[in-house]
Chain A
């Protein structure tokens, strides 16, 4: 590596936005040809801005300063917009998280790729269709999907089509900003394999991610950023096995897995969580629940029982029916067939009037807390709404609840828009535990959060459960999270339960093929058995 000239060399990069917000302060790193480097950090760490600066897309209002910025062997000092445009796509390509936004909705993906080919003058017009097909095949998209519009493709196909258009001119550097964040695990694994293959072909990769586990399997080196500064960088094995900086240790501890069960994720030492009482009587059960939407079976013959103080994990990818099941459990949707019981009494098939007085026994924490807050409400009104107390007593209780979730009385007057994602989810949890529910339904409560914030929220849920003995119905697409938190697990696919049992059994000895696939796709920090790396 030392013998070859680096492909990318960044020296003392600073990016400032009006405010002034010093987003990137003195970042330096290099990427050798054919190397995969990952920048890891949470939102606001400056990782995306750093990556975008490499292709001159830091933003209109950004001021970029550096002591040297070489991209694909070109010194970019004094580059104009025109120079950057020429560099982009041909020498370095950028792929963003959301392909639905990045792709032109009025263009088929084939035309999109054709346009990239034409812009970079790759091949003749006559051979373009063949090239488009070959490019799509190279990212494992069937060539006959070239005529499809972005909205007609699934998230995974769309993301791969976007990559195909980015690599149309075969640039030596591909920058991918959170390329898999919106995707299911199995699709994510496919995409990571694809990126690994590109690296094996000698093309350099710069990955940007908040999740160390995702990049662990593919990156040669990791750059850990926090608040605009590189806190640590080095070979992946070294950073993962012997992290030097406290923040890296924190990030590593935050990744939930089998070993983290019963322990805190939000501290580097992973101290044990308070012990939980033994599961008590049955509080919520479903037997033979079906739900049809037209001809489609969203939920097909699902049964489960949840006992006091217990956590039942429901795992599945998008479209598996897990959210429909949650809505049925919450009594927001009637099952087409089957029965739900809450505390031994009928919960489905009864008039809403009879359900209403018991509704507070079942509370919900959803993926997107902001949309679950009335936009006119302050934190005090949000948390106070489900409470029975009035006046002074209510305010005291709201403060007590906010303190339980690690926020204080100073948040009472705040509006949810002025809160960070993690704080919003804490407010949502404070509201949900306010009525002292028997069951807390958590529908992807941490999917939208950074790993370190996710760790704090998961710790909070575990603490509250230990203290109150609440039963948790925990729905997630993330097997790591479920493995960390749940006692028992239900694996769902196409509305059916394909496997269920205690977490230890299901995760160590899965009996269904689909569960095995999900587990194999799970990104892991354990490098010993990492097949995706494809090292020669």
Chain B
């Protein structure tokens, strides 16, 4: 029976789950997930079906989110758009975590010279604003979904690389790694058994938070025409197409924008909470 005095600093554990409930963000993300996997469950219409006769109609029982300048149902396009925005964000995040993680691990585990080289390279890449770096990359390739994914992955990889490198240096010096050295483990076994798992443990949580930012960036670049081309119902592209009609048909821009905003806020909220929980446990 160990009695320690309760100190009111245990935010992660004590206040964590009682503070703002995660019910709303989680429910919204479930809805988004359904839209990604099976959009037809949420809407019966075709996102590309144009009907010039009913262009720019205000939201109504028939068209929940109204229609756009070509008479396409905005709600349907928002639902189908989730697949573009999320899959681009997800693919870019996974790519950047894997690439950044690998570089970070190699830097953290290598001799000083290699570490120094890789770290300076990461520093140089980090010096560019992420969107600028992605734009630069697309400028040298073809606009479109694959290069958008690669561009965002490249822009975010240095961030993960630096986190992973710092974490690796920390874990390398941990007591349990030194202890395992006395068991006569080889350097590779040490890294594989003790360093890598403890470095990578917190990465998925960081990636959840990063996912939201990646989605925003993907939408921004599509807005600039660097991503999926019209008539694909990508959220950023939808914003771009409808911005000329903002005065007469606010719904065709505001509602996709809201979908994007709420998705990102929800992802960040869930990610932050996971992070707090994880750190509280450690």
Interface residues in chain A, defined as those with a beta carbon under 8 Å from any beta carbon in chain B: 17, 21, 23, 43-44, 46, 48-49, 52, 58-62, 227, 330, 332, 352, 355-360, 362-364, 366, 368, 371-376, 385-386, 420, 435
Interface set, chain B 113-129, CB cutoff 8 A to A: none
Contact call B179/A23, Cβ cutoff below 8 A: no
Residues of A within 8 A of B7 (CB): 59
The yes or no answer to B279 lying at the interface (CB within 8 A) is no
Q: Which residue of A lies closest to B180 (CB)?
A: A385
Residues of B within 8 A of A62 (CB): 5-6
**What are 13 of the A-B contact pairs (CB < 8 Å)?**
A44-B3, A49-B5, A59-B6, A60-B8, A332-B181, A362-B182, A363-B182, A366-B179, A368-B175, A371-B176, A375-B176, A376-B201, A420-B2
Interface residues in chain B, defined as those with a beta carbon under 8 Å from any beta carbon in chain A: 1-3, 5-8, 174-176, 178-187, 194, 197-198, 201, 282
Contact call A43/B182, Cβ cutoff below 8 A: no
- 8 A-B pairs besides A359-B184, A375-B198, A420-B2 with CB distance below 8 A are A17-B3, A48-B5, A60-B8, A352-B187, A355-B184, A359-B183, A372-B176, A385-B180
Q: For the complex, give the distance between the alpha carbons of A386 and B193 in Å.
A: 13
Residue B3 contacts which of A21, A358, A374, A385 (CB distance < 8 angstroms)?
A21
Contact call A364/B186, Cβ cutoff below 8 A: no
Residues of B within 8 A of A435 (CB): 183
Contact call B176/A227, Cβ cutoff below 8 A: no
Contact call B3/A23, Cβ cutoff below 8 A: yes
Residues of B within 8 A of A59 (CB): 5-7
Q: Which residue of B lies closest to A362 (CB)?
A: B182
Q: For the complex, give the distance between the alpha carbons of A17 and B175 in Å.
A: 34
Contact call A356/B186, Cβ cutoff below 8 A: yes
Q: A23 to chain B: closest CB distance in Å?
A: 5
Q: For the complex, give the distance between the alpha carbons of A357 and B186 in Å.
A: 10
Q: For the complex, give the distance between the alpha carbons of A531 and B3 in Å.
A: 35
Interface centre among A49, A59, A372, A374 (most CB of B within 10 A): A374
Residues of A within 8 A of B181 (CB): 332, 359
- With A371-B176, A372-B175 known to touch, is A386 a contact of B3 (CB < 8 Å)? no
Q: B210 to chain A: closest CB distance in Å?
A: 23
Contact call B174/A356, Cβ cutoff below 8 A: no
Contact call B183/A332, Cβ cutoff below 8 A: no
Q: Which residue of A lies closest to B1 (CB)?
A: A44
Q: B267 to chain A: closest CB distance in Å?
A: 26
Contact call A356/B1, Cβ cutoff below 8 A: no
Residues of A within 8 A of B194 (CB): 374
Q: For the complex, give the distance between the alpha carbons of A46 and B5 in Å.
A: 10
Q: B175 to chain A: closest CB distance in Å?
A: 4
Residue A376 contacts which of B2, B175, B178, B198 (CB distance < 8 angstroms)?
B198
Q: A159 to chain B: closest CB distance in Å?
A: 20
Residue A227 contacts which of B1, B8, B180 (CB distance < 8 angstroms)?
B1
Q: A347 to chain B: closest CB distance in Å?
A: 13
